[in-house]
Amino acid sequence: MNKPVIAGNWKMNMTPEETTGFFATFCSAWSADPSRTVCFFPPALSFEAARQALRDRPDILLGVQNIHWEAAGAFTGEVSARMAAGAGARLVLVGHSERRHVFGETDIETGRKVAAAAAAGLVPVLCVGETLAERRGDALEAVLTRQLQAGLEPSGEALPGPGLVLAYEPVWAIGTGVTATPEDASAAHRLLRRELDARYGRAASDVPILYGGSVNPENAAALLAAPGVDGLLVGGASLKPDAFARIASARPD
């Protein structure tokens, strides 16, 4: 398995100026560590400030939070995968729970976005996760399987593009301060790994599955130690350079 991926999703936070300030602090708190992959997803308008701030830090990768699946055209307010790649993005979040539940993004759209990202040379980070009602209704497996299949279907039989990352983010754990237990995370990751294996066979063994949902410096080590957890996708705590540096350097217990 690859080294752990520690990713920060800034959501709609951080102006360009704040981005510059963030990285001034983060880059002194965090030195390149060959045993970790660290990446950030700033908002589109702060992306260039992040890229500039990280000119001398090729160890830190950048991605965008969303793309449209079309390459160009009359889609006011959207950005394409090609634009993101041209701006220096290496990855893109697809199907984040806020896209699905606040903006009504459908399974079909996530599939189109994964395929468009891969075609443009971006690594899609396909996010999946169940709501509390779905978990209580015993629908965990059905929801994760459906979201995964729909997200990957349009890309065909081969693994999409330059790589694929999955993120398991239970909706009830995002921004709530309630974290899945390491056991819950492991169980969901096992399910996703089984689906990936069934779909791609050994080719999928390098696809990292990240956990996301109220990760903080205190729980990061235990989550990273959970079997099947290959990294962390961090929202709120990624806005604080020191907290995120502590998460990035957390070692499995």
Which residues of this protein are in contact with ligand PGA, per CB under 6 A?
A: 9, 169, 174-175, 212-215, 233-237
* CB of 169 vs ligand PGA, minimal distance in Å: 6
Nearer to ligand PGA, 217 or 236 (CB): 236
Active-site residue, selected from the candidate residues 98, 105, 130, 169: 169
Cβ pair 53, 19 in contact under 8 A: yes
Nearer to ligand PGA, 14 or 52 (CB): 14
Is 68 among the catalytic positions?
Answer: no
- Residue 196, phi then psi, degrees to nearest 5: -65, -45
Cβ pair 39, 62 in contact under 8 A: yes
* CB of 215 vs ligand PGA, minimal distance in Å: 5
Nearer to ligand PGA, 117 or 234 (CB): 234
Active-site residue, selected from the candidate residues 68, 96, 105, 130: 96
Cα separation of 222 and 218, whole Å? 8
* CB of 223 vs ligand PGA, minimal distance in Å: 11
SS3 content of the chain, % helix, strand, coil (to 5): 45, 15, 40
In this chain, which residue has its C-beta nearest to ligand PGA? 235
Is 98 among the catalytic positions?
Answer: no
Nearer to ligand PGA, 100 or 193 (CB): 100
Burial class of residue 25, CB neighbours in 10 A (0-12, 13-18, 19+): middle
Distance set, CA 201 to CA 157, 196, 197, 214 (Å): 11, 7, 4, 32
- Catalytic residues, by residue number, are 96, 169
